[in-house]
Amino acid sequence: MSEGFLPISKYEMNEMGWDRPDFVYVTGDAYVDHPSFGVSLISRVLEADGFRVAILSQPDYKSCEAFREFGKPRLGFLVTAGNIDSMVAHYTAAKKKRTYDYYSPGGKAGLRPDRATIVYCNRIREAYGDVPIIIGGLEASLRRFAHYDYWSDTIRRSVLVDSRADILTYGMGENILLRIARLLDKGVPVKKIRDVRGTVYLCKPEDKLHFPVAAEFDYNELKGDNRKYAEAFGVQYKNQDAINGKAILERYDNKLLVQNPPMPPLEREELDRVYALPFMRNYHPVYEKDGGVPAITEVKFSITHNRGCFGACNFCALAFHQGRTVRSRSIESVVEEAKKITALPDFKGYIHDVGGPTANFRYPACEKQLRDGVCSSRKCLAPTPCKNLVADHSEYVKLIEEIEKLPKVKKVFIRSGIRFDYLLCDEDDTFFRKLVRDNISGQLKVAPEHCSSAVLRCMGKPDFEVYQRFRSKFFKLTKEAGKEQYLVPYLMSSHPGSTLKDALELALCLKRDKYAPEQVQDYYPTPGTASTVMFKTGIDPLTMKPVYVATDYHEKQLQRALLQYNRPENAPLVREALIKLGREDLIGYGTECLVRPEGQPYKKTDKRPASSPRGKQSNRGGKNTKPAQSRGKSRPDTKRAKTKRK
């Protein structure tokens, strides 16, 4: 038995003296016992409550034999695809097969199946028949209703229907799973567990419901009616608050799918207890021979201090999963975790991040949210900040300073998403100055995403003018601190609402700012986001207004090429786009031009398009400080799931 880890084999279970586990937790990821991994959080919480949990990590899914490793568990199976959706883990935005998996030993791809939640559950049914199965994690949470599936280009049924599981848990699952486990332990049949918040179940249409209902939809209508599908998502989105959310129903012929209202978020004391559990903070030693699990490198020396995000970007699934209500851990709890990190043998003195979904959120957006829940009719920050917003970074500053006082800590970095619009709302710039002076490793990643006001509205982001103000102040404070630091802006092409004309507007903006992006993210429609509904239907589900969508692959190529107009390989596409837009004036040798005429290479005397160092915006007004050939690697799509861009 590997000391401190939960058992991942029958041999390890026997070494612990168990005859059988209470739960077998099946996961599509390698087993990493770190609080950034959902399997570790849930299993440690159950363990602390007296339950025995065995981990069945990346089982051979081609037969049911691997699922018999621990025998039949006393209470049931827990199933997750892993930290991210299995289809996102396997395919790029262009639907090309990935060759690397951050959550597998040695980065090896192919160790989990497509639609892993469904496959695992069906194998369990083959092995044990009518054993209780509870599914959860990101894949299940975001596919809990009828949903658009980009990879098959269809409206698929709820994953609960296709998996044949008994209960689906959505959102953050600690208290949900504790409630279910305690009921099962008391002998309550899994089919009778229907009143737990944060769960979805199937029943007969005439069965009694336990919560008031917001709306009922029919899958047969949703899969063929874009407007009805957009309307359904709008209702779902507006009922993801534990205070004012209601149950939502979805009919599947003679069955009724019921989503109970969300489970309330863990409060500070509860979060502190969860993160104080005895995590090993590493992958299981069995993976050492394969070179370990790459995903640990992103989080091993990082700390999560909060949950939830009231930023609510339309392309981000956080609002639909963790919710828009922010909760955070106490300073004492975070500092204790930092002490544990400093005691690790390979700690070099650097805390890589103190963040979360959005690093600089510590509390709900306003006092009203604590009493009435989040507003269903507007966002907290976009298109403009709500007048009730409370912007205060003072506790976050104190938190960082307390970690910096620890004897072995040389530096604390903040690398997860900073909401620059929220930062500007704080009249006290103490945190902004400290961030620039102490907590950046030479560059800060931010996400303006676009410059077109129309596109930014579809994204649920603030106007570009807000980013320009932030950028100006960032470089002003950087100069005052006597440093040379950079901004690395994330940009997205082909998001719903973006036309070829909008892409050109962004290209001209980039040229004006002398910025040549190394990384551009093609919009990737994933389940559980408003943007994905726009992509499928051409309708904004939050306003029910029509939205332009670039669905043609070639048009997507044109939009992306415009954003990286200075790359020689993009020249033919850039010329084609400019001709389509009637902007041949931008083809030529003038300083305002984006691309040279066809067949006309650069001459030594020509002024080439400016390029900033390694795709960064510098504090030297965007002028070159390094060779333009100094290129970084393109950011993989999985990076988006891991860093949770804001």
Looking at the domain assignment, is residue 149 inside a domain? Answer: yes
Whether residue 642 has pLDDT greater than 90:
no
* pLDDT at res. 603: 53
Residue 585 in any domain: the answer is: yes
Indicate if the pLDDT at residue 327 is higher than 60.
yes
Q: Is residue 116 part of a domain?
A: yes
For residue 144, is it within any domain? Answer: yes
- Give the orientation angle of helix 500-512 with respect to helix 553-563, to 10 degrees: 10
Classified as helix, coil or strand, 536 is helix
State the helix-helix crossing angle for 553-563 and 571-580, rounded to 10 degrees: 110
- Output DSSP code: residue 42: H
Phi-psi bin for 386: left (phi > 0), alpha (psi -120 to 50), beta? beta
DSSP 537-587: HSB-TTT--B------HHHHHHHHHHHTTTSGGGHHHHHHHHHHTT-GGGB
Residue 232 has pLDDT above 80, yes or no: yes
* Per-residue model confidence (pLDDT) at position 636: 35
Q: Binning pLDDT at 50, 70 and 90, where does residue 602 land?
A: low
Q: Write out the H or E segment, with its range, that includes residue 400.
A: helix 394-404
Q: How far apart are the first and last CA of the chain?
A: 41
Query: Where residue 637 falls among pLDDT bands split at 50, 70, 90?
Result: very low
Q: How confident is the model over 579-589, as a mean pLDDT?
A: 95
Dihedral over Cα of 523, 529, 534, 537: its sign? positive
Tokens of 87: 């289809």
Cα–Cα distance measured from residue 400 to residue 72, given in angstroms and rounded to the nearest whole number: 47
Angle, in degrees to the nearest 10, between helices 268-275 and 38-48: 100
Choose among 259, 228, 265: nearest CA to 243: 265
Q: What is the mean pLDDT of residues 141-157?
A: 97
- The beta strand positions in 319-474, using DSSP E, are 327-328, 350-351, 353-355, 411-412, 443-449
* pLDDT range class, residue 382, cuts 50, 70, 90: very high
The token duo for 61 is 């899914």
Q: For residue 130, is it within any domain? A: yes
Domain containing 495: what range?
Answer: 489-646
At residue 319, the pLDDT reads 86
Domain end marker among 155, 185, 200: 200
Q: Pull the structure tokens for residue 295.
A: 């995903």
The answer to whether the CB of 410 falls within 8 A of the CB of 349 is yes
**Structure confidence at residue 634 (pLDDT):** 32
CATH number of the structural domain spanning residue 131: 3.40.50.280
DSSP annotation string for 245-261: --EEEEEETTEEEEEPP
- Which of 162, 179, 200 delimits the end of a domain? 200
Whether the per-residue pLDDT at 576 is higher than 60: the answer is yes
More confident residue, 628 or 210: 210
Instruction: Give domain status of residue 345, yes or no.
Output: no
pLDDT at 645 over 70: no
pLDDT of 607 above 60 = no
172, 200, 228: which is the final residue of a domain? Answer: 200
Q: What is the number of domains present in the chain?
A: 2
Q: Is the pLDDT of residue 643 over 60?
A: no
pLDDT in tens, 511-527: 999 888 888 999 999 99
**What percentage of the chain carries pLDDT values higher than 70?**
92
pLDDT of the residue at 18: 96
- Taking the alpha carbons of 341, 343, 344, 348 in that order, is the dihedral positive or negative? positive
Q: Would residue 271 count as lying in a domain? A: no
pLDDT tier at 641, thresholds 50, 70, 90:
very low
Which pLDDT belongs to residue 174?
96
Mean pLDDT calculated for residue range 381-401:
96
- Give me the pLDDT at residue 376, please: 85
Torsion angles phi and psi, residue 110, rounded to 5:
90, 10
Q: Could you tell me which of 445, 487, 383 has the C-alpha nearest to residue 640?
A: 445
Within a domain: 590:
yes
pTM: 0.91
pLDDT in tens, 292-307: 999 999 899 999 999 9
Section 179-185 average pLDDT: 98
Average pLDDT along the chain: 92
Report the pLDDT value the prediction gives residue 599, as an integer from 0 to 100.
78
pLDDT score for 619: 52
Nearest-angstrom CA–CA distance, 64 and 121:
10
